[in-house]
């Protein structure tokens, strides 16, 4: 009954103008920020490849120190060696599997206990799956990596970031949240009662991310802490390599040929994280650096509140 009620609610709220704006914005280049970011601390998840790697380099080029949260030890060591040698900044890393609640909570606690202020926190780590996979905690993997990891880390950092009086949280979201056109199924976030769809699961996780942003934005109001989400553009990344050979072949020979360089994503994240124009801007969804109105299910405060409670329950925090 509740699902049907939401269906009709969202159906009435959809506006063609927002879809047209999204299509138009997909053709735009990001705004460019030329500011220096000397001695600031930037925390980035998933920084060893793709968008995360180029974003780490972009902030380091501007003088920022980095703390990267990655899965792979060797790649992390190589990344920090490269960045420190090339840009003369500090680059450190922490190893964590962001599909594991134990690892997520551990790294969140380490961040919360840092003596240095975190100037920018970028949630970039991601995965795309065509088949349902469960984590060691029995949770759907894509939902954990894209949503629950960001939720737990943000939640554990509330007090620290508030005490700093200034910080920016950036979540790499997606226009793909529109794949969950009729909203979240709060009774089946783990995809146990429905046939699994990679696109729908991805859309649900990204919708959940946007909904959590609404609550975090309220909690951070008038504290100097901002939280925003951005679509990184249609860019070529290594996401999806966990899938089978057919998917990888199709991605390489069809999808990737029409995609742009992830350099535009790095420039967009640097603008959102460093530009003075972004002071006091919070709770927004950006297509690169152009503000957009998300799909109606991602703006539902009632569902956002219910999701918040369920997220606390699922993660045990």
For residue 302, the model assigns a pLDDT of 97
Check whether 79 has a pLDDT greater than 70.
yes
| 14 in any annotated domain | no
For residue 247, the model assigns a pLDDT of 37
CATH number at residue 180: 3.40.50.720
For residue 268, the model assigns a pLDDT of 98
Banded model confidence at residue 7, pLDDT cuts 50, 70, 90: confident
| 26 in any annotated domain | no
Contact between 149 and 127 under an 8 Å Cβ cutoff? The reply is: no
| 280 in any annotated domain | yes
Main-chain phi, psi angles of 226, to 5 degrees:
-120, 155
| 18 in any annotated domain | no
| 289 in any annotated domain | yes
| 123 in any annotated domain | yes
| 249 in any annotated domain | yes
Euclidean distance between CA atoms 108 and 156, whole angstroms: 6
Enclosing domain of residue 306: 34-315
For residue 130, the model assigns a pLDDT of 86
Q: What is the pLDDT of residues 150-170, one digit of tens each?
A: 999 999 999 999 999 999 999
Residues 304-310, mean pLDDT to the nearest whole number: 98
| 45 in any annotated domain | yes
Euclidean distance between CA atoms 78 and 81, whole angstroms: 5
Banded model confidence at residue 3, pLDDT cuts 50, 70, 90: low
Q: What is the pLDDT of residues 21-77, one digit of tens each?
A: 999 999 899 999 999 999 999 999 999 999 999 999 999 999 999 999 999 999 999
How many domains does the structure of the chain reveal?
Answer: 1
Banded model confidence at residue 241, pLDDT cuts 50, 70, 90: very low
R_g (Cα) of the chain, nearest Å: 19
């Amino acid at each position: 009954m509740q699902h049907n009620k939401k269906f009709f609610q969202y159906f009435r709220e959809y506006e063609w103008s927002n879809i047209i704006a999204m299509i138009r914005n997909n053709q735009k280049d990001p705004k460019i920020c030329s500011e220096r970011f000397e001695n600031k601390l930037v925390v980035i998840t998933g920084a060893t490849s793709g968008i995360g790697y180029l974003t780490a380099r972009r902030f380091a080029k501007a003088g920022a120190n980095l703390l990267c949260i990655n899965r792979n030890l060797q790649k992390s060591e190589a990344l920090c060696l490269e960045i420190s040698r090339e840009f003369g900044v500090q680059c450190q890393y922490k190893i964590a599997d962001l599909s594991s609640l134990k690892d997520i909570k551990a790294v969140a606690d380490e961040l919360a206990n840092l003596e240095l202020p975190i100037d920018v926190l970028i949630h970039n780590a991601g995965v795309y799956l065509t088949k349902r996979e469960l984590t060691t905690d029995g949770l759907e993997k894509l939902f954990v990596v894209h949503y629950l990891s960001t939720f737990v880390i943000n939640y554990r950092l509330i007090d620290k970031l508030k005490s700093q009086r200034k910080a920016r949280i950036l979540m790499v979201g997606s226009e793909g949240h529109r794949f969950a056109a009729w909203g979240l199924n709060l009774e089946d976030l783990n995809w146990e009662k429905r046939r699994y769809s990679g696109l729908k699961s991805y859309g649900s996780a990204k919708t959940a991310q946007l909904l959590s942003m609404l609550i975090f934005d309220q909690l951070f109001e008038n504290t100097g802490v901002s939280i925003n989400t951005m679509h990184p553009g249609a860019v070529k990344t290594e996401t999806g390599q966990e899938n089978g050979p057919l998917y990888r072949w199709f991605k390489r020979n069809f999808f990737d040929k029409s995609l742009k360089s992830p350099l535009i994503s790095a420039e967009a994240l640097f603008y959102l994280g460093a530009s003075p124009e972004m002071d006091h801007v919070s709770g927004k969804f950006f297509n690169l650096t152009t503000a957009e109105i998300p799909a109606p299910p991602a703006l539902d405060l009632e569902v956002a509140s219910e999701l918040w409670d369920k997220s606390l329950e699922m993660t045990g925090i």
